[in-house]
Amino acid sequence: MSNLFLSTRLQGRLFFFGLALSALLPLSVTATVTGKTRQTVGPTYEILEPSIYEEFQAALEKKKATGELAKIEKEGKERAENSIRNPAAVTDMRIARERRSWTYDPSVVATSDVRDNNSNLIVAKGTFVSPLDQVSWKPMVFFDQRDPAQVSYAQRLLKEWAGKGKPVLVGGSWVDLNKAWGQQVYFDQKGTLVNRFGIRAVPATVVQQGRVLLVSEIPTESSR
């Protein structure tokens, strides 16, 4: 008796579900009447709209035939090369008018114990760890290649550092200096480094002083 009740109840739910589903479905061109018998309930039409893919291909072939496609490709290549050769200058960067210096501590605090594979304690939690205890910092000079005075100052400084320094641009073309100086010139894209060190004017230097870095904004003779 209970099985009959459950079966009848299930059939009722399926019937209700079928009604709800039919109400959500869009009107079909054909409808099932009984079994496999179908009848047409409305006229059918061929799709007259052209294929968007075919339209795209036709437009592409037309641009190729007129030479417009080659022009677009050439302009895109030139823009890409120019953006690589002349990255966007760091914004809000001034020319140094007065000397300003401060220290930057790269130390970090261990948030948990650091152990080796044998569980030997290497660094205890809460310990200040400085990367300068393990590696030496190569001095950096930040400057704008578009200012001849800054370029001359950076060049003199690099000679004093005997090839151990890193020239870093905040504006201008690093490619030109690469060729002229015969050494790798870097570019601080989006001002990642100057923002970290708090540099707001150039030329500026970052040199190691014990377990900290000494950051200095240094005006050139022409900018004083």
Beta-carbon count within 10 A of 102 CB? 13
Q: Give Cβ neighbours of residue 186 (< 8 Å, ≥ 6 apart).
A: 166, 167, 168, 169, 174
The residue ranges of every structural domain in the chain are 52-85, 94-105+135-223
d(CA 110, CA 107): 10
**pTM for this model (two decimals):** 0.62
Q: Identify the pLDDT of residue 87.
A: 86
Q: Which two tokens stand for residue 136?
A: 């030496």
Helix extents (H) in 67-137: 68-85
Q: Identify the pLDDT of residue 51.
A: 78
Overall size of the chain counted in residues: 224
Q: Could you read off the pLDDT tens digit of each residue along the chain, which spans 224 residues?
A: 444 434 444 455 444 444 444 444 444 444 444 455 566 666 776 766 777 888 888 888 888 888 877 777 777 766 666 667 778 999 999 999 999 999 999 988 888 988 889 989 888 888 888 888 888 899 999 999 999 999 999 999 999 999 899 999 999 999 989 999 999 999 999 999 999 999 999 999 999 999 999 999 999 987 76
Sort 144 into a burial class: Cβ within 10 Å, 0-12 / 13-18 / 19+: buried
**Fold designation for 94-105+135-223:** Glutaredoxin (3.40.30)
Q: Identify the pLDDT of residue 37.
A: 57
